[in-house]
């Protein structure tokens, strides 16, 4: 009897293990992409590409592992639209520990079919900041922007069944919440230590997608990471505010050197490519054109300083103009969309130094006494080859010239100095020492 019971237990366990294994084998995979950094048009491209890749691989869901300080509102709205209209469930997972979903990240997280956070993470502070930090913006316009963003937050929260009141407070009062507070306030759905834990906790959850109701079967499902392609990495690199700024400065210097030295080719090629890449990046960044004009004006002042005696006033003005322009170049409150001081100071200093050095060197060469040709002969020392009485021949730089002595006779071997050139005849005087 005992053996029969034990045999039955073992058989039941084997059946359960087999059923679990069969379920895992049958469960479609889950795709995962990591988005780390400011929200820009590049992240929009990454999300859309990840959704398309997940569809191609017949994934049952897409996990977006998110860590962002915020970003551009236009890009954020595009990502939210993609998530809301997705026929594949999107799980936004704020991770790893120490990560955040701030500003634009709040809307993206709330728009997800499932919102999750890792321990020691936070979400919130979604108040819109006016252009230039809001200091000079019209109060009525700021109010309109705030109302528009608050309404957007409410509608997303209502669509996903999340806390509408907190969503509005995140916009109007910049409130934030930890992962535990977020679960209690119904901002997110679960707290997960890692991706396997997340898949286990959302398993069996019913969701509403564009195609209709979907039930997740994620426990033990394979996770397929979507690697960012080289092209997207390159685009993300050049659209970094610091890199775009450096490309612009290099481009301006390259064009400047090409115009100063026509035919040098290399500076023009490098400058042209750099400027094109910089302007491509500027299309994706919140550019303040007043800042760009200040940088160009500063460069002009540095060039003018070489030709106009201002006792350093133009140089100081040029450096100050470039510094102010660099600070104002981007209209964005997020630090990730500003230029670092560790980039601004060396770049402005090196640009000013290079321009001043190059232009001053060119002017020195322009006003230097000629050293070749007929005019370059004046002042040179020659050696008498045939007696000058007063006419004869002298040797100058290995060349034999007809010469006329203007202060008496000169014997062969004597040193004379050229004082004038008359056609092909040199006028010379005695020199102290022969060369």
Catalytic residues: 103, 144
**Pairing outcome for strands 114-117 and 90-94:** parallel
Cα–Cα dist 153/128, whole Å: 12
Helix-helix angle 341-367:289-307, to 10 degrees: 30
Name the nearest CA neighbour of 66 among 107, 126, 127: 107
Contacts 24+ apart (CB under 8 A), 229-234: 232/42, 232/45, 232/46, 232/49
Across 180-196, b (16+ Cβ under 10 Å) vs e yields: ebbbebbbbbbbbeebe
With H, G, I as helix, E, B as strand and everything else as coil, classify residue 392.
Answer: strand
Q: Residue 85: CB partners within 8 Å, gap ≥ 6?
A: 210
**Pairing outcome for strands 114-117 and 190-191:** parallel
With H, G, I as helix, E, B as strand and everything else as coil, classify residue 339.
Answer: coil
Alpha helices (H) in 67-173, listed in sequence order: 73-84, 104-111, 139-160, 164-172
Across 82-111, b (16+ Cβ under 10 Å) vs e yields: bbbebebbbbbbbbbeebbbbbbbbbbbbb
Cα–Cα dist 248/274, whole Å: 6
Cα–Cα dist 15/304, whole Å: 87
Asked if residue 70 lies in contact with residue 51, where contact means CB atoms within 8 angstroms, the answer is no
Tokens of 226: 């979507």
Across 36-49, b (16+ Cβ under 10 Å) vs e yields: eebbbbbbbbbbee
């Amino acid at each position: 009897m005992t053996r029969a019971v034990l045999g039955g237990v073992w058989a039941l366990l084997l059946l359960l293990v087999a059923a679990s294994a069969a379920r895992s084998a049958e469960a479609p995979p889950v795709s995962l992409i990591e988005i780390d950094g400011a929200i820009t048009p590049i992240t929009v491209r990454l999300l859309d590409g990840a959704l398309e890749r997940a569809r191609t691989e017949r994934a049952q869901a897409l996990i977006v592992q998110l860590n962002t300080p915020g970003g551009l509102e236009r890009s954020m709205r595009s990502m939210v639209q993609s998530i809301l209209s997705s026929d594949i469930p999107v799980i936004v997972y704020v991770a790893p520990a120490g990560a955040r979903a701030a500003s634009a990240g709040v809307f993206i997280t709330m728009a997800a079919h499932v919102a999750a956070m890792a321990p020691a993470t936070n979400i919130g502070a979604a108040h819109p900041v006016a252009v230039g930090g809001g200091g000079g913006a019209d109060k009525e316009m700021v109010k309109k922007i705030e109302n528009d963003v608050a309404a957007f937050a409410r509608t997303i929260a209502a669509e996903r069944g999340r806390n509408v009141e907190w969503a509005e407070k995140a916009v109007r009062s910049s409130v934030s919440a930890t992962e535990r507070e977020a679960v209690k306030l119904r901002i997110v759905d679960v707290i997960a230590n890692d991706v396997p834990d997340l898949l286990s906790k959302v398993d069996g959850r019913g969701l509403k997608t564009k195609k209709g109701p979907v039930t997740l079967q994620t426990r033990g499902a394979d996770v397929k990471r979507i690697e960012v392609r080289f092209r997207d990495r390159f685009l993300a690199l050049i659209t970094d505010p610091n890199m775009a700024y450096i490309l612009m400065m290099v481009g301006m210097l390259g064009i400047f050197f090409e115009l100063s030295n026509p035919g040098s080719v290399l500076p023009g090629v490098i400058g042209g490519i750099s400027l094109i890449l910089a302007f491509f990046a500027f299309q994706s960044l919140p550019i303040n054109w007043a800042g760009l004009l200040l940088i160009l004006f500063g460069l002009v002042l540095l060039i003018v300083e070489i030709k106009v005696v201002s006792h350093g006033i133009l140089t100081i003005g040029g450096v100050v103009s470039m510094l102010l322009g660099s600070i104002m170049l981007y209209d964005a409150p997020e630090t990730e969309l500003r230029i670092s001081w560790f980039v601004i100071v060396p770049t402005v200093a090196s640009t000013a130094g290079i321009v001043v050095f190059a232009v001053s060197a060119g002017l020195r060469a322009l006003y230097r006494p000629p050293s070749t040709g007929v005019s370059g002969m004046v002042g040179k020392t020659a050696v008498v080859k045939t007696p000058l009485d007063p006419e004869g021949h002298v040797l100058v730089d290995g060349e034999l010239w007809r010469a006329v002595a203007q202060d008496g006779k000169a014997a062969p071997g004597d040193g004379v100095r050229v004082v004038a050139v008359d056609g092909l005849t040199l006028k010379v005087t005695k020199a102290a020492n022969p060369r």
